[in-house]
Amino acid sequence: MTHFGKTIIYIAMSAVGVSLIPAAALSVPVVPNFSQGSMTSHTETTSKVTETINSIDYATGWQYSVSGTNVTNGGQSLSPNPTTNSVIVNPLGGTEGQVTSANSGLNLNGQSFTIAEPGAAFQFTQTYMGPGVTNQTVIQRTTEVTSVTDTTSIFTQ
């Protein structure tokens, strides 16, 4: 039995001993085959920005004037009755942002002017500018920016 145990150890040692024998490895040294070189890279980046500027001017009050010659209003007051107006502005150009404002204006119904002396020359001017939008400017512009980067690296041994 002891002999059997020694045999097993011997066989195991032989197997380990055989596997530890290295085979000859072949290698070729790597030596750079150049003395100098360069590397160039080219990068382009483009960005596009579209912006909308919406400027709205609106009057919050009113302006009223009456003038003339050979015209009468039958003794009525030249100041019409005030009224409240609601103004809603919907911006143009596809932008968002509705503006609503309530302002006082004038009720011109009931104003009556007639020629004082029929057949004679006359002149009459009545001007009213009530609250609301007086001007709207929409500016849409697109800006495109292109950035170009060229990089060159030079190296030697």
The 10s digit of each residue's pLDDT in 55-83 is 888 887 788 899 999 999 888 888 888 88
Does 3 fall in a domain? no
- Could you give the residue ranges of the DSSP H alpha helices within 1-112? 2-19
Does 5 fall in a domain? no
Strands (DSSP E) along 81-131, which ranges? 81-89, 99-107, 114-115, 123-129
Mean pLDDT rounded to a whole number for the chain: 78
Task: Count how many domains the chain has.
Answer: 1
Does 26 fall in a domain? no
Rounded mean pLDDT, 35-42: 86
Does 125 fall in a domain? yes
Does 49 fall in a domain? yes
Does 2 fall in a domain? no
Does 14 fall in a domain? no
- C-alpha distances out from residue 20 to 7, 17, 86, Å: 20, 5, 99
- Domain encompassing residue 64: 31-156
Does 52 fall in a domain? yes
